[in-house]
Structure formats: C-alpha cells, structure tokens
Amino acid sequence: MIDHPFADQPGLAPADYLASVGTVFERFDSRTQDSGNVSFGVEAGGRRWFVKSAGDPQDRSPFLSHAARVALLENAQALARSVRSPALPALAGSAWSAWGPMLVYEWAAGELVHAPAERRDDPASAFRRFRSLPPAQATAAIDATMRNQIGQPAAWISENKTVSRNELEPDACPAPRVRRCGRSLRRPSGRTCAASAKRRHCPAFCRRAAS
C-alpha cells in the first residue's frame, strides 16, 4: 500500500472532507455515469489522487442500493490487493466517510473515452481520437483492458469468495444465477435480465438453467 493523506472521517461526506484536506479538481457523478458511485480527483499531500465512494446513501435513483455499492467497493479492495497490472491504477488504501468507504488510488491522467452521440464525430473528442488510432495500438489498449476485466479477476474469483450482483440484489434478476469462475466469466447466450430493457447493459450474468 502507498501512504496517503486521508483519514477516517465518519461524520463527513466525502466532498466536504476531501475539500478540507486538499483541492478537489474533478468530480465524477451522475453526469458521467449511472452506477451511483461518486468519485473525486483530489490534490493533497503534494500528489494527485482518485478517491471513489459509494455515493450518497439517500440517493435512491441508482439501480443498486447503497449497501450493494458499498459491498462492491469492499470487493474491489480485496481484488486490488491480489491483482497487479500496469494497466490498473494502484490502490493506496481506504478511509471511512459518512457515505461509507472511500477507496484511494493514485491518480492516472487521461480522459473518458465515452462521448454523447452529438460529440462522436468531433475530432477533438477522446472517442474520435481513440477510433483514429492505428488498429494495432487501439487493439493493444482494448486487450489490456479486457485482460483486467476478465482474465485476472477470473483467476482471482476462482480461488476467492466474491460478491456477485445477483447476491447483492437477489430480486434484480428473474433468471437463475450462474456461477462465475475462470471458465465461465462471460455473458452466456439465452435469457437476459428483465432489467436490461431499462438499462444499457444487463446488471448480472444470467441465463436459463442449464438443461
């Protein structure tokens, strides 16, 4: 773990606490994502940090409950301690706030590749710049991302107890649960969640029971 300047402050929301110990220069919330998590770019202790929280416990708009988002952050901590990759920001540690745990990472400079439809043809957007890369360079970036999303976590999941989204929200998906391990960490064909009609992606890996 890396020494960081943040301490447990269970009486303060992350934005208030982080502003008291450093300069908040970036905020990632419902304007850029729909997970319910709220994250911050903070300059403190002579360095830049990325601090991720489970969001406001009073916010009922995200698909996952606040308790479920906290559980996923705790799971992310355990995974970060076991998985090392140059494509992953290093987890420095964590601190507690009124919103639950705050995961503290080293800041990685970059831009969101996502762009709204009206900006996807803008040559200045990260989306268009990425699509304009030489194929080999773009493929290498995608390969590194997929190895982190599937390969390394799958190996870790096969040896450790992890929390699936169906376990967190048992009523979220009507389809039977699918065990996720190194051999089956993918979306099988067949039935998908009813929630996928409302969301941009299915919140769980679901299918009909194997015959």
What pLDDT score was predicted for residue 180?
Answer: 36
Taken in order 114, 118, 121, 123, the sign of the CA dihedral is negative
Q: What is the pLDDT of residues 113-148, one digit of tens each?
A: 888 889 889 999 999 999 999 999 999 988 888 877
25 alpha carbon, distance to own chain's centre:
20
- Structure tokens, 210: 């194997």
Query: In the chain, where does DSSP find H-type helix?
Result: 14-21, 66-82, 126-131, 135-146, 152-157, 165-168
Residue 37: count of CB within 10 angstroms of its CB: 20
What pLDDT score was predicted for residue 160?
Answer: 52
**What is the reported pTM?**
0.65
What pLDDT score was predicted for residue 110?
Answer: 82
Q: Alpha carbon of 183 to those of 31, 152, 158: distances in Å?
A: 35, 12, 9
Residues 86, 20: Cα–Cα separation, whole Å: 31
